[in-house]
Structure 1
């Protein structure tokens, strides 16, 4: 098996990692699924991913990766903060889950060569997840658009929240647009992915995902403007369409963006600011300030934190915040130093999307889709391994035919 070849089983491993990070909390489904059953499925997917990665890479060949190395340090920090059991035994279980997640990424790093194979795995798996959302919407519109979530789209077959669906739709839309610009996929296939994804994104009314998609594409396409005529044409048309939409549909866009909220509720980020202020004002010991309280469910006082940086500060302390910042800075710095390419543009999109979403979504400190997006960015920024020269055994001269000897260069 050559180093430049990616086995099909690697795509299966990546799909299992996606399944593991779907989570177990969300809206009520058409067929009630016990949370314990969902957790068994997601955790079983992670165990299976690690086992398959070990099976396909039995010699434990890995590539140096600053991203996975920093994740390993974050894992160590998480263990240090969780051993005191302030967050209960669940903290140690989450550490074990993170350890399996990071170990699987180490095993997969062997095939991180700057190619687009993992991008295609990423799109296919999340498109399948969105397909289940669409099926749930058709089967039971009432369950898929419940009043509990203000009529926003949720997962009716698998308990997915509107922000999750919006995130998946935005990420695969952005990646598919970039593949089209790089002429790595045909337009028909792209339309099949982009159009349904944008419809589902609109039904979720997820502002973070929408802004992340738009700003991420601006930065990614901007990195291609000097080398791609297709990128320049797309950028020009996008600016024109955005201007027309802003002028002609300003009221509709504003209504969609506000989601019927008052200005006070909108300014407090749907109540998030109150939780953030309480978290920052809570008394902490020196150890808790530096290493946090241990891995938890990303909540404070029973309310979701919905901010990656504050969630990491609460669970892994200032050391964890420093490591997460280092991950973003290192990946962003490497992307800026790479020459313009489609792979670099995809990585820039993923990094910028995760950075934007980190303000109103948690997930950068634990096994999550965001860490998987960043892992994909790291694989795109990896330098292709040089093909090793084929080893030639030393053959005694007497065993070499005479015709071969005459062709030797003195």
Structure 2
């Protein structure tokens, strides 16, 4: 099995983009708001799992020689399968735990096959933006077709997926990520402002309609960290940072009350400081009695809930399902990626990676997903592709110069 980039393979096949789109489809989930046309959960699961199988098959077809680029991210992600399988093998969480283990294994195997094209370029950033923009397009279409279904009272009037069951936090996450990445591509002059506006403006509108605080904070803090890494080397980044600070100051003064009302979403200060009731679930999870093996390896992969309520914290979800071992591996993944990003010289790929890592780190406190096949692992996979060292070009062998024929009389003189 090869471990290097194929010499001469300068262009990523279009099939790789299709594989990435199938991975995105697989991680959309099967639960959420009621759709305009009711979709049975079994049908959605069939579509999402079929997408993962198709992604693996396509990735294998385009990489038949099994050439990969080994790295710490994929190694640690593969290592995460160990506590997942150990905890799920006891069947305490039912056969669904083993099914989720198989899904995670197939997900990781597909990333290994795609690692052949991880070369430090922004190729996968573009795939990421296109695929999630298509998802947001379906959300916008649902909003146009049926505003009542897209802004239901059940979710407090927040935007949901009316064509595909997507929750407000999911939509906010997708919008925030592609906004941040597109802004960075503009600053790096990898796209024009017109094309960027087509992505950024509608995504900002959808983000605002979701009233998702985590996504908004992740976008702002992640962009601040990413642009800060470019300030010393990019005049465009310095200008953008200056204007962003000025606009933020004006917005805070002129629209402070409106922004505060949007941020609180009609909730009391006490309810807001308890993370909208999440702390009750977190305290109950930590107080629950566990055997030594359950503390070490967890209870098995589940639906990221405890007592029928969502955990909404990546670290506690990993601790609950994969134990302290899984939590340590996930922490290593984040720390290693962040460490590599900080050690790299300033560049656009490094800035995009910093944005994605920062966003995932911030969202991990109120969202679950770092320990299983999820959009967050896809974000980190894009960061890993951006931090991969460019493949060394193999110099082509220069044709040997024809030997000059020496006359016999000259040879005799020599």
Q: TM-score, normalised by structure 1?
A: 0.96
Matched, 1:218 2:224: yes
Q: Which moved more, 1:56-65 or 1:1-10?
A: 1-10
Match in the other structure for 2:321:
315
Note the C-alpha offset of 1:236: 0.2
Q: 1:37 aligns with which of 43, 67, 72?
A: 43
2:380 to 369, 374, 384: 374
- Name the counterpart of 2:412: none
Q: Within the alignment, does 1:286 sit opposite 2:292 as a pair?
A: yes
Asked if the contact 1:4–1:113 (Cα under 8 Å) also holds between the matched residues in 2, the reply is no
Give the match for residue 203 of structure 2. 197
In structure 1, what is the Cα distance between the partners aligned to 2:228 and 2:406?
A: 58
Q: Which residue of 1 aligns with 2:370?
A: 364
In the TM superposition, what is the alpha-carbon distance from 1:404 to its structure 2 partner?
A: 9.3
- 2:368 and 2:287 mapped to 1: Cα distance? 19
The answer for the alignment partner of 1:254 in structure 2 is 260
Of 148, 166, 170, the residue aligned with 1:160 is 166
The answer on whether the counterparts of 1:20 and 1:43 sit within 8 Å (CA) in structure 2 is yes
Q: CA deviation at 1:75?
A: 1.1
Q: CA deviation at 1:390?
A: 3.2
Listed as ranges, the matches of 1:6-405 within 5 Å are 6-390=12-396
Deviations 1:288-326 (A, max 9, x none): 001000000000000000000000000000000100100
Separation of aligned partners in 2, 1:147 and 1:8: 42
CA distance in 2, matches of 1:403, 1:185: 53
CA spacing shift, 1:405–1:117, aligned 2, 3 Å: farther
Which string of whole-angstrom CA distances, capped at 9 and with x for unpartnered residues, describes residues 346-392 of structure 1? Answer: 00000000000000000000000000000000000000010123357
Q: How many angstroms does 1:402 deviate by?
A: 5.4
Inter-CA distance 171–405: structure 2 relative to 1 (3 Å threshold):
farther
Residue by residue over 1:73-127, the C-alpha shift from the partner in whole angstroms, topping out at 9 and shown as x without a partner, is 0012101110001100000000000000000000000100001111100000000
Deviation at 1:3, TM superposition (A): 3.3
Q: Is the 8 A contact 1:53 1:104 kept in 2?
A: yes
Q: Which deviates more, 384-393 or 321-330? A: 384-393
Q: Is the 8 A contact 1:175 1:346 kept in 2?
A: yes
For 1:359 and 1:255, the matched residues in 2 are separated by 22
Aligned length: 401
TM-score, reference length from structure 2 = 0.95
Give the CA deviation at 1:5: 2.2
Distance in structure 2 (CA, Å) of the matches to 1:164 and 1:118:
20
- Cα distance in structure 2, aligned partners of 1:402 and 1:388: 26
8 A Cα contact 1:114 1:384, kept in partner: yes
CA-based RMSD of the aligned residues comes to: 1.5
For residues 224-251 of structure 1, give each alpha carbon's deviation from its aligned partner in whole angstroms, at most 9, with x where no partner exists: 0000000000000000000000011110
